[in-house]
Amino acid sequence: MVDTLLLGTLQTNSSFQRLAEAIGRISGAFHVTLDSGRAENLSTYFSTLCEWNKSINLSGIRDEEELVYKHLGDSLIFEKFLGQGAIEILDIGSGPGVPGLLLKILRPELQVVLSEAVKKKCSFLRYVSSLLNLSGLQIEEGRLMPGTRPKDMPPAGFDVVVSQAAGSLGWLLDLSIPVISMDGMIASLKGPCARQETALIAGRARRAGLRIHVKDLVLPVLEHQRVMVLFQKGRC
């Protein structure tokens, strides 16, 4: 009879290996080469997320590989649009850290604030941030409201505010416009219906001095349709 402790270890190692292979596949699809430190941190993040997700609903996706393809894939899409000059990042409605915490792993130089209203998700974010020993990452628990500012907001405002389908574009503008820098950007990754939603708030965005760019994309491996909506203040 196989020892149950040994069996559990083998299953854990097998799961970790599957996650590492999925990370390699989706990053390769984006032509991104991960060094050993970032690859290990990503594997640890997803292994921890999968374990927590068994008892706490952090993500509706239960399949391990699909979890990697979607969450890391979406974060890699955001990373493509950040620009090299972006340092101060605010993630509104971060959930399990998508995309903000994953962007921090991908680009350690970023200074990231994760805003999340759900306590159990904040507990996960704090745990995995400590596990990975991430500096320059702040977690703000509570619902960000129009007219309020994050405690850790930089003096000049955020370079980029990101949101992964956490709410409507109108809601995102209400929260983001007061906290972005003079030439800051708001980036929202949404589904195929985003163009209709963008049309509804286009006039409002322009009155606020924002230029709008809408990019139709395909998430590799899963072949899911994505729409990146960018609101650019100042330069463009």
pLDDT tens for 75-125 read: 999 999 998 889 999 999 999 999 999 999 999 999 999 999 999 999 999
**Structure tokens of 67?**
């979890």
Global confidence as pTM: 0.92
Task: Give the separation between CA 75 and CA 226, rounded to whole angstroms.
Answer: 12
Q: Return mean pLDDT, the chain.
A: 92
Task: Give the separation between CA 210 and CA 217, rounded to whole angstroms.
Answer: 22
| Residue recorded with tokens 């596949």 | 25
Instruction: Please write the tens of the pLDDT for every residue from 51-64.
Output: 999 999 999 898 99
The predicted pLDDT at position 6 comes to: 34
pLDDT at 4 over 80: no
Instruction: Residues 4-233: name the CATH superfamily.
Output: Vaccinia Virus protein VP39 (3.40.50.150)
Work out whether the CA dihedral 150, 122, 93, 188 comes out positive or negative: positive
